[in-house]
Amino acid sequence: MSRNKFNLKLPLDEGRDNEELINILPSYQMYRNTISKNLTPTIEDLRLEPPLYDQIQPFQSAPTSPEPELDDDNQETILENAHRLKRLTSLNKEVAKSLHVTIHLTKSIGKPGETYSVIDPLSVEYKQGDSIYGVVLVTNKTQQPIPFDMFTVQLEGVLSFGNSNNTLMDQSSQTFTFLTMFDFNASWNDGFLDRLKSDHNNPYKADHSNSFDPSDNTYYHLDPKKVFQPGVTYKKFFAFVMPERLLENGCQSSLIKHLQVPPTLGVSKSETISSLRHKWKGEAESKKYASITNDLSFTDASISYAVSARVIGRAGNYKQLLGGNHSNQLLGSDEYVVANEDYVYIRVIPVTQPVFSLNRAMINQEAKLLYSGLVEDIKQKMATGKEMTRQGHGLVPFSSNGSEQETNLHPTSSSVELSKMRQMYKAKKLDESKVYEVFYPIKKKPVFGASKVAGMLALATPRKEYVMEYVSPPRYPNHSATTLHIPLDIVYVNDKRSSPPEFRSISVELVSLTVKSKKHPIPIVIHPEMLFENKTKGTSPSQDNFDVLTIKRFQNYALHLSKLMKEAPELEVEPEMIKSIKGLAGLTTKYVHLKVQNVGYESGGAAYASVNSIPWEKQVVNSESTTERFEDVKYVKQLIITANMGSLEVRPMRLVDFCLVPDFQNCLIARIYYLKIDVRLQNSEKISLRVPVILQRSK
């Protein structure tokens, strides 16, 4: 993933509560002292008075060559590396009580002199465009001033990967910040700026003594000398607006789907540690996690959103604050450390934007083209490598139709009959691009000899994506669960006039697929054809999945190309192709099957208790081959499966306490859903048909 750039505060919508706020366009000086402040400390110290200069005679200075300009983009900044800085609280947890930092979310914009209403951070499921208001309180409970170099208030979205073998207190091994919004008013900056339209501050004269608020005995401006005075509580109000989408540089491939705001997923280690720190500080309230309940994610992967407030300064200035032998644990007195911090985690469940919904088909079509192009390029590269290898060994190249296996030139009688039955099934000239269908040969085993094909069973449903509405956990305003109506045609074809089969049951499962990549970005949008094929190839239906069709395929590509590159060193493989192959070959998946308990059947406007109670419709089919004409009979059941998605339970544990977040795809993690319809015959054989599902929050 590309290096994250910070989102400056976006313009706030007019006509709402936040119209009272003033937006800031930061000056270059303000930008250099906040967002782009270098990780290497400088000699600047605003706590010292400027020196007095005597009147002296001017002198001629010698000319010097200009210093080279530094490229800010190539420097490491404090904010981008804040998660890597040492924490004083990890050396001595009593620091958190000496320098107390607390964040509260509020119902509306905070104003000096007015009381504010604190809300539970997890009482709202935030979406794009929602405002997040709050206040940060910083109290120096010691008898000495506590210096700082930076005080930051940010809204951060972080993707974290850990190690399932780590303990609860181990930090995540990898973190990727995909969203950072910086509040210049709440953070320390050089200017004494107006925050509200009713403010009239002098930006050049920073006098925090005039910012005393007698309503709660706090100061709402920080000391310009960058110190927290003893016994003083500082109060900084903040406001953020959840963006509509992520910045384009968040995805190397500029995929629209990867730039959508992802939902809160899993429980991050940072959130767990933050909760324990609140207990260390003696706070009584029980902290709950933003994921609220089991969302079927990986145990070592999470997407979290939090408002953070950090006090950052030089290690050498905090030796007295640490006290005792703890100060000896600081390696360098000039390195930056986090003196104290606080986080408030929020739950974000984005809505599906109408424009995105309208263009979903186009996005899928583009994804198919990119995927097909990638596969074709890889095959051509492998063919080129094989040709180079043959020439290097002095072998004569041979003509090939692209098939990697020899074809069987002598079809069996079973394959001839199956071909004939498929032709009878498709007598209506069905458009295969408009339906998902699966064929299953019905075989009968005689007393003596091998089993023979007695008929063919076909399942078909329209090729479409079914839409489910997101259902919030019980503590939030809830929406009614979606009931899906799935048309299903069951067709049995047999040229021997045998009776159609009976069914034991039809079951419907929702499959939750979570995909992650800890290293290489996912190069394309995952589309349904990468998830399943709905083809019967003599293999187990359980192998018709993303692992076999996509991950295993690209693992084979990686092995073959690696071998060819060793055998033919002159073979040039583009770096982008290598990254794409690694990105798909190195994916890890987690499947969770949720069975729909409440399933019904309708046919011809009437409801039926079981699929067997729906009558077969007998149809006579006239068809012909190149050598003969024949008349056969096929049996058809046309029904609609009604699946109440509010009756899901996780199998095999039979859990009902879970929450399905909206589907999404990111460069490193994705959540995808599809339905698996299982038709089980009386002999316990099972036929599976899969269809894609969209799970979205519409409002």
Query: Which of the four pLDDT bands, split at 50, 70 and 90, describes residue 497?
Result: low
1-5, 315-319, 597-601: range with highest mean pLDDT: 597-601
- Gyration radius (Cα) of the chain, Å: 33
Q: Quote the CA–CA distance of 141 and 98 in Å, as a whole number.
A: 5
Helix H, strand E, coil C: the string for 225-254 is CCEECCCCEEEEEEEEECCCCCCHHHCCCC
Give the per-residue pLDDT at 83: 83
For the segment 573-587, the average pLDDT, to the nearest whole number, is 95
Phi, psi (deg, nearest 5) at residue 414: -65, -40
**Number of C-beta neighbours around residue 675 at 10 A:** 22
Give the per-residue pLDDT at 258: 95
Residues 664 and 511: beta-carbon distance below 8 Å: no
Phi, psi (deg, nearest 5) at residue 248: -65, -30
Give the per-residue pLDDT at 396: 47
Q: Quote the CA–CA distance of 497 and 171 in Å, as a whole number.
A: 68
Q: Which residues pair with 444 in a beta bridge?
A: 452
Give the per-residue pLDDT at 328: 61
| Edge-to-edge strands, sheet with 118-119 | 118-119, 99-106, 131-140, 233-241, 218-219, 212-213
Query: Which of the four pLDDT bands, split at 50, 70 and 90, describes residue 625?
Result: low
pLDDT of 202-222, one tens digit each? 666 666 677 899 999 999 989
Residue of higher predicted confidence among 40 and 524: 524
Give the per-residue pLDDT at 535: 79
Residue 77 has pLDDT above 60, yes or no: yes
Q: Quote the CA–CA distance of 556 and 256 in Å, as a whole number.
A: 29
27-31, 203-207, 447-451, 571-575: range with highest mean pLDDT: 571-575
Residues 347 and 264: beta-carbon distance below 8 Å: yes
Helix H, strand E, coil C: the string for 39-98 is CCCCCCCCCCCCCCCCCCCCCCCCCCCCCCCCCHHHCCECHHHHHHCEEHHHHCCCHHHH
Residues 557 and 371: beta-carbon distance below 8 Å: no
Token pair 């500080």 is at which residue? 281
CATH class entry, domain 17-41+75-350: mainly beta
Give the per-residue pLDDT at 40: 63
- Reference 239, options 102, 107, 101; nearest CA is 107
For the segment 383-408, the average pLDDT, to the nearest whole number, is 61
Question: Encoding tokens for residue 472?
Answer: 């919030």
Q: What is the pTM of this model?
A: 0.83
636: three-class secondary structure by DSSP = strand
For the segment 539-566, the average pLDDT, to the nearest whole number, is 90
Q: Quote the CA–CA distance of 145 and 46 in Å, as a whole number.
A: 14
pLDDT of 444-479, one tens digit each? 776 676 777 778 899 999 999 999 999 998 888 777
570: three-class secondary structure by DSSP = coil
Give the per-residue pLDDT at 452: 75
Phi, psi (deg, nearest 5) at residue 488: -140, 125
Name residue 14's amino acid. E
Residues 486 and 466: beta-carbon distance below 8 Å: yes
Query: Which of the four pLDDT bands, split at 50, 70 and 90, describes residue 647?
Result: very high
pLDDT of 325-348, one tens digit each? 665 666 566 789 999 999 999 999
Q: Is 277 exposed, middle or buried (0-12, 13-18, 19+ CB in 10 A)?
A: buried
Q: Which residues of 334-366 are buried (b: 16+ CB within 10 A; e: fewer)?
A: eebbbbbbbbbbbbbbbbbeeeeeeeeeeebeb
Give the per-residue pLDDT at 473: 87
Give the per-residue pLDDT at 65: 46
Give the per-residue pLDDT at 407: 35
- Reference 146, options 223, 94, 208; nearest CA is 223
Q: Which residues pair with 131 in a beta bridge?
A: 241
Percent of the chain exceeding pLDDT 70 equals: 73
Residue 3 has pLDDT above 70, yes or no: no
Name residue 693's amino acid. V
Give the per-residue pLDDT at 509: 96
Give the per-residue pLDDT at 156: 95
Residue 39 has pLDDT above 90, yes or no: no
Residues 6+ apart with CB under 8 A from 540: none
For the segment 35-58, the average pLDDT, to the nearest whole number, is 57
Query: Which of the four pLDDT bands, split at 50, 70 and 90, describes residue 25?
Result: low
Residue 395 has pLDDT above 80, yes or no: no
DSSP 535: -
Q: Is 532 exposed, middle or buried (0-12, 13-18, 19+ CB in 10 A)?
A: buried
Q: Quote the CA–CA distance of 444 and 422 in Å, as a whole number.
A: 18
637: three-class secondary structure by DSSP = strand
Query: Which of the four pLDDT bands, split at 50, 70 and 90, describes residue 500?
Result: confident
Tell me whether strands 588-596 and 503-516 are parallel, antiparallel or unpaired.
Answer: antiparallel
For residue 664, CA distances in Å to 351, 466, 528, 667 come to 11, 15, 14, 10
**Least confident piece of the model among 105-114, 408-417, 464-473, 552-561:** 408-417
Query: Which of the four pLDDT bands, split at 50, 70 and 90, describes residue 506?
Result: very high
Residue of higher predicted confidence among 378 and 44: 378
Query: Which of the four pLDDT bands, split at 50, 70 and 90, describes residue 694?
Result: very high
Name residue 673's amino acid. Y
Strands (DSSP E) along 206-350, which ranges?
212-213, 218-219, 227-228, 233-241, 301-314, 336-348
Give the per-residue pLDDT at 1: 46
Q: Is 375 exposed, middle or buried (0-12, 13-18, 19+ CB in 10 A)?
A: middle
Which stretches of 318-472 are DSSP H helices? 319-322, 354-358, 360-392, 413-425
pLDDT of 238-272, one tens digit each? 999 999 999 988 888 889 999 999 999 998 877 77
Q: Quote the CA–CA distance of 233 and 214 in Å, as a whole number.
A: 12
- Mean pLDDT taken over the chain: 81
Give the per-residue pLDDT at 443: 78
Residues 6 and 237: beta-carbon distance below 8 Å: no
pLDDT of 281-310, one tens digit each? 555 455 567 777 789 999 999 999 999 999
- Reference 185, options 37, 20, 339; nearest CA is 20
Token pair 């094989």 is at which residue? 386
Give the per-residue pLDDT at 320: 82
Query: Which of the four pLDDT bands, split at 50, 70 and 90, describes residue 6?
Result: very low
Residue 57 has pLDDT above 70, yes or no: no
Q: Which residues pair with 452 in a beta bridge?
A: 444
Phi, psi (deg, nearest 5) at residue 287: -85, 130
Residue of higher predicted confidence among 181 and 326: 181
Question: Encoding tokens for residue 274?
Answer: 């933050």
The angle, 0 to 180 degrees and rounded to 10, between the axes of the packed helices 360-392 and 575-585 is: 110
Q: Quote the CA–CA distance of 559 and 530 in Å, as a whole number.
A: 20
Token pair 């069996």 is at which residue? 412
Percent of the chain exceeding pLDDT 90 equals: 50
Residues 6+ apart with CB under 8 A from 372: none
